[in-house]
Chains A and B, each alone.
Chain A
Amino acid sequence: MKDTSNITQQATEQIDSAAIKLKICGMKYQDNIEQVASLQPDYLGFIFYDKTPRNYDAKTITNVPETIKKTGVFVNAEISTIIKTVTDYNLQAVQLHGHESPYYCSILKSTKLFTKNKVEIIKVFSVNESFNFNQLEPYEVVCDYFLFDTKGKLPGGNGYKFDWSLLNNYPSTKPFFLSGGIGLSDVDVINKFKTSEASKYCYAIDINSKFEIEPGLKKVSALKAFKNHLNNKNMNLYNVDEKGYYGEFGGAYIPEMLYPNVEELRQKYLEVMSEPSFKEEFNQLLKDYVGRPSPLYFAKRLSEKYNTKIYLKREDLNHTGAHKINNTIGQILMAKRLGKHRIIAETGAGQHGVATATVCALMGLECIVYMGEIDIARQAPNVARMKMLGATVVPAKSGSRTLKDATNEAIRDWINNPVDTHYIIGSAIGPHPYPDMVTRFQAVISEEIKWQLLEHENKENPDYVVACIGGGSNAAGTYYHYLHDEDVKIIAVEAAGLGVDSGESAATSVLGKEGIIHGCKTLLMQTNDGQITEPYSISAGLDYPGVGPMHAHLAKTGRAEFMSITDDQAMNAGLELCKLEGIIPAIESSHALAIFEQKTFKPDDIVVVSLSGRGDKDLNNYIEYFKI
């Protein structure tokens, strides 16, 4: 045992020593400097160059702990200027951004000040396709580090990234800083880069303009999030890791019979999704066929009632009436590229079944939809729609004869048809890569919210994003581009059914325990003995005993606030939206709307709610409930 722990300890130390350093550059304002310094970056950069708005013009730098290396950034400055500045501001490093020659560096390095105080010299090179790495050689002995930035018009940073794969040609062993337009959303790219050969000598990441409110004023929450993610692959990362996990949730717990299919998808999905022709076809169909972008609508009367600013993301206006079609369009294109010509799907209320039947008709592919026998009886109009669209609807007669059993049947079909069939899962659930793939197809929701909100409010980030969660695909799409912006609060709304403690509920985050359902480890409702139990909600779309692994992780880490809304609260919120805004929402979406009765927001809070679907399908429920 002793030996093992030693090995573990050594391994941890190795990882720590290899941990990538962080330099935050372009500091300007004293309060902001202190806030940023409290995050303990390795370097703080101060620009001494009067042609930039980030020029540091205060007389001193105070309250920066000694553990942080204060770095002066210069562009073709006189050596005497540098010496004076290093002395006046007590700098531990200088970064040379101009045409400083190896000779210039050698003089600087040999000065008494630099030798005695071990002041580091970082020489900057701007990289593009034609960059000649051989020019680095004369600098090797006279500099401590190189810094690679994007080649652009400005002598300093240009705010965008160069192609890091160019570093595959890096001929040196000199450690370098990686710089140029790095933002919070690049965490995954950096983590991927860290596993590549080109990163072997990457010593630090240098960030600046992507973390600013205005030039020189840094956004502390975003910096904090970035720093947390940078050297902490297992924690706090809200995106899936390379093994298919969100923290401890996810993975692919599947019988061997499914392995070849799931593995094929795992190997190819990212590659296919990044093909320009795929993106083009996907975007074209979202625009011309689905009707995207869906509006971001400022709900004026609703906002007045609750004294806050409520925006509705109108997924209900999509073709087929809900967000589901974003995913089925993506997956049908994926299936075609994988050479599959038979499509299977599961459906609960029939929304995903209709969305799948729709895209199969669009592409001329065979479509089989599994649906619980009980659901078939209570969702007759959607069954008819699927049939009109040419799909075969197969009743799931096993178990409780609802959504989870339909999912089981679809999986069994896939086991029996391993070669020609693609399974279009309708939510952010299932074995890896499904939760991630579905999330990425749905991510168009938050991608649009960002630019739409910029038009409305002159800022990309709301204070809250809100969505209802069954398996969690509309929620995953609504959150995706905000996951790492910790100034955006996430609210996940589950169905409490008749009440969380009533025994008739679908509030998985409260009632669920960690376990395995439909191929992934997540939170699910189950007996003490590990048998999966049947949830209840008036809304068929939220009536699922599990929750996507990403959401389980958001719940466990506290990144998202989970709220439970009962049938009654949801129905009343749905009717209220009809009266106040002239919009009849799906009962699923009504759950998200019901939070305004439960939680008070500030008058200037901007709250974006995903209106995931329209209420036509729920008319009978509304009629029955309100005795209309």
Chain B
Amino acid sequence: MNRINQKLKENKKLLSIYFTAGYPSLNDTVSIIQNLEKNSVDMIEIGLPFSDPLADGPTIQDSSTQALKNGMTTEVLFNQLKDIRKTVNIPLIIMGYFNPMFQYGVEAFCKKCEEIGIDGLIIPDLPVDVYHEKYQSTFEKYGLSNVFLITPQTSDERIRYIDSVSNGFIYMVSSASTTGAKSGFGDEQTAYFERINSLNLKNPQIVGFGISNNNTFTAATKYAKGAIIGSAFVKHLTAKNAKEIDTFVSSILS
């Protein structure tokens, strides 16, 4: 059982944080991860930047563009993370688009993740059927959980299919949007959260998109195992130049 599965067993609501690797400065990656763990964050999504991030709003796009300008590449990220397990114990997930992984070689990428101690991957533009047909055995060989997204428009039937192929958690996108587009939840989200809850899926769900503060974190985790904050944290990194991570995290959790 990898760190994600262990973490999901803990009797608490989980806070997961996304940030773009190599942003604001190329070598901020490791210290941001260490700081997040120190401040009781449960899980981290390390964003591998991509030139054309289709599912992301302006905040994460801009951070990706800057990270690439700073010189971030797949190889650089793997180098930065090579000793990460000497200091960090919480689950680490790499989140990125499929093309950079495809160019690196999917098997080589997975192998490298295992060596470093990465626990899972989130690849928004790798469709579940392609994963299932072509890559699932490779991911499993290297002990990686692959995390799929579902949205309010995803049918129950498809959610059950995704649940059957998943082996960690399901990334529940709160509303039809790109990242950072909306904040706060209305009746529509509540109905959606309840619908998913009633499906009794084998994989726990973690909510992402639209979570930026204590209010939205509390609302999201009322129905789900945890929540992911991305754009709001990237904005904080921009504003505070990667400092004061403790203030940000405590504003969410308290």
CB-CB nearest in chain A for B56: A412
Closest to B50 in A: A531
Question: Could you tell me if A399 and B65 are in contact, using CB atoms closer than 8 angstroms?
Answer: yes
Selecting from A78-86, A254-262, A384-392, the interface stretch reads A254-262
Q: Compute how far the CA of A418 lies from the CA of B73 in the bound complex, rounded to whole angstroms.
A: 33
In the assembled complex, the CB of B66 is this many whole angstroms from the nearest CB of chain A, namely 12
Q: Is the CB of B55 within 8 A of A415?
A: yes
Could you tell me if B61 and A530 are in contact, using CB atoms closer than 8 angstroms?
no
B167 to chain A, nearest CB (A): 17
Bound CA–CA A515/B98 (angstroms): 9
Q: In chain B, residues 215-241, which have Cβ atoms closer than 8 Å to a Cβ of chain A? A: none
**Chain B minimum-CB-distance residue to A404:** B52
Q: Which of B65, B99, B100, B124 has the most CB of A within 10 A?
A: B99
Interface string of B57-90 (1 = CB under 8 A from A): 1100110010010000111000000000000000
In B107-166, the 8 Å CB interface with A consists of 124-128, 130, 148-151, 153-155, 158
- Among A254, A257, A259, A530, the residue within 8 A (CB) of B100 is A530
User: Is B198 interfacial (CB-CB < 8 Å)?
Assistant: no
Report yes or no: B99 in contact with A256, Cβ–Cβ below 8 A. no
A-B pairs with CB below 8 Å: how many?
116
A433 at the B interface (CB under 8 A): no
Whether B55 contacts A255 by the Cβ 8 Å rule is yes
B residues less than 8 Å from A415 (CB atoms):
54-55, 176-178
CA distance A412 to B178 in the complex (A): 6
Interface string of B13-30 (1 = CB under 8 A from A): 000000000000000000
Q: Are B150 and A256 in contact (CB under 8 A)?
A: yes
Question: Do B125 and A257 touch (CB < 8 A)?
Answer: no
Point out the residues of chain A lying under 8 angstroms from B103, CB to CB.
513, 515, 526, 528-530
A408–B52 touching, CB < 8 Å = yes
Complex CA–CA separation, A251 to B125 (angstroms) = 11
Across-interface contacts of B101 in A (CB, < 8 A):
530
A251 to B99, CA, bound (A): 14
A254, B53: Cα distance in complex, Å = 11
Interface membership of B51, Cβ < 8 A: yes
CB-CB < 8 A to A254: which residues of B? Answer: 54, 125, 127
Q: Find chain B residues with CB under 8 A from A533 CB.
A: 51
A398 within 8 A of B: yes
Complex contacts, B99 vs chain A, CB 8 Å: 515-517, 526, 530, 532
Measured CA separation A458–B205 after assembly (Å)? 66
Cα of A259 to Cα of B157 in the assembled complex, Å: 13
CB distance from A301 to the nearest CB of B (A): 45
B253 contacts chain A at the CB level, 8 A cutoff: no
Closest chain-B Cβ to A183's Cβ sits at a distance in Å of 34
Complexed CA–CA distance, A399 and B60 (Å): 12
Shortest CB-to-CB span from A173 to chain B, Å, is 34
A257 with B58, Cβ < 8 A, contacts A515-B102, A532-B51 known: no
A416 contacts B by Cβ under 8 Å: yes
B173 at the interface (CB under 8 A from A): yes
Contact (Cβ within 8 A) A416 B178: yes
Chain A residues within an 8 Å CB radius of B58: 398
B154 touching A256, Cβ below 8 Å = yes
Question: For window 356-404 of chain A, which residues contact chain B by CB distance below 8 Å?
Answer: 398-399, 404
List of A residues within 8 angstroms of B158 by Cβ: 259
Nearest residue, chain A, Cβ from B57:
A412
Can you list, as one digit per residue, whether each of B190-233 has a CB less than 8 Å from chain A (1) or not (0)?
Answer: 00000000000000000000000000000000000000000000
Interface size on B, residues (CB 8 A): 43
A398 B65 Cβ-Cβ under 8 A: yes
Instruction: Determine if A416 and B176 form an interchain contact, defined as CB atoms under 8 angstroms apart.
Output: yes
Task: Judge if A411 is at the interface, Cβ distance under 8 Å.
Answer: yes
> A408–B149 Cα gap in the complex (Å)?
19
**A542 beta carbon closer than 8 Å to chain B:** no
| Nearest-neighbor residue (CB-CB) of A252 within chain B | B127
A529 lies within 8 A of B154 (CB): no
**With A260-B153, A530-B101, A532-B52: A253-B125 Cβ-Cβ less than 8 Å:** yes
Q: Say yes or no: A516 contacts B55, CB within 8 Å.
A: no
Tell me, in angstroms, the Cα distance from A289 to B178 when the chains sit together.
38
Find out whether the CB atom of A530 lies under 8 angstroms from the CB atom of B151: no
Q: Complex formed: what's the CA distance from A532 to B49 in Å?
A: 12
Closest partner residue, chain B, to A532 (CB atom): B51
CB of B52 within 8 A of CB of A529, answer no
Q: How far is the CA of A251 from the CA of B52 in the complex (A)?
A: 18
Contacts of B151 in A (CB 8 A): 256-257, 259-260, 418
Report whether B173 and A531 are in contact in the complex, using a CB–CB cutoff of 8 Å. Answer: no
Provide the bound-state CA to CA distance between A540 and B193, in Å.
46
Contact A399:B125 (CB < 8 A) given known A256-B148, A416-B178:
no
Q: Which residues of B contact A531 (CB under 8 A)?
A: 50-51, 68, 100
Question: How far apart are the CA atoms of A408 and B101 in the complex, in Å?
Answer: 20
Task: Please give me the residue from chain A that is nearest to B181 by CB atom.
Answer: A416
> Please, which residues of chain B bring their CB within 8 A of the CB of A255?
54-55, 124-125, 149
A411 adjacent to B54 (CB under 8 Å): yes
List residues of A (404-441) whose CB comes within 8 Å of B's CBs. 404-405, 408, 411-412, 415-419
**A519-B125, A531-B50, A532-B99 are contacts. A257–B173 as well, Cβ < 8 Å?**
yes
Inter-chain contacts of A416 with B (CB < 8 A): 176-178, 181
CB distance from A130 to the nearest CB of B (A): 42
Measured in the bound complex, the distance between the Cα atoms of B128 and A416 in whole Å is 21
Contact string, A27-44, partner B, CB cutoff 8 A, digits 1/0?
000000000000000000
Q: Which residue of A lies closest to B129 (CB)?
A: A243
> A255 vs B178: C-alpha distance in the bound complex, in angstroms?
10
A89 to B: closest C-beta gap in Å:
51
Kindly list chain A residues whose C-beta atoms are within 8 Å of the C-beta of B154: 256, 259-260
Cα distance A412–B149 when bound, in Å?
16
Q: Is the CB of A529 within 8 A of B54?
A: no
What is the CA–CA distance of A424 and B216 in the complex, to the nearest angstrom?
35
Q: Which residues of B contact A418 (CB under 8 A)?
A: 151, 153, 176
Residues of A within 8 A of B51 (CB): 399, 531-533
In the bound assembly, the distance between CA atoms of A260 and B126 in angstroms comes to 15
The residue of chain B having its C-beta at the shortest distance from the C-beta of A413 within the complex is B178
Supposing A415-B177, A416-B177, A515-B99 touch, asked if A529 and B65 sit within 8 A by C-beta, the answer is: no
Distance (Å) between the CB of B124 and the closest chain A CB? 4
CA gap between A418 and B173 in the complex, in Å = 14
Min C-beta distance of A133 to chain B, whole Å: 38
Asked if B98 and A516 make an inter-chain contact with CB atoms under 8 angstroms apart, the answer reads yes
Chain B residues with CB under 8 Å of A528's CB are 103
Chain B residues within an 8 Å CB radius of A417: 176
Shortest CB–CB separation between residue A13 and chain B, in angstroms? 22
- Please name all residues of chain A whose beta carbon is closer than 8 Å to the beta carbon of B57 when the two chains form the complex: 412
A532 and B68 alpha carbons, distance in the complex (Å): 11
A-chain residues with CB within 8 Å of residue B75 when the two chains form the complex: 529
A254 to B155, CA, bound (A): 16
- 13 A-B pairs with C-beta separation under 8 A: A253-B126, A255-B149, A256-B124, A256-B154, A399-B61, A408-B54, A415-B176, A416-B181, A515-B103, A518-B52, A526-B103, A529-B104, A532-B99
List 19 other contacts, CB 8 Å, given A408-B54, A418-B151, A526-B99. Answer: A253-B98, A253-B127, A253-B130, A255-B125, A256-B128, A257-B55, A257-B173, A259-B158, A260-B155, A398-B58, A399-B51, A399-B61, A408-B52, A419-B176, A514-B102, A515-B102, A517-B52, A528-B103, A530-B104
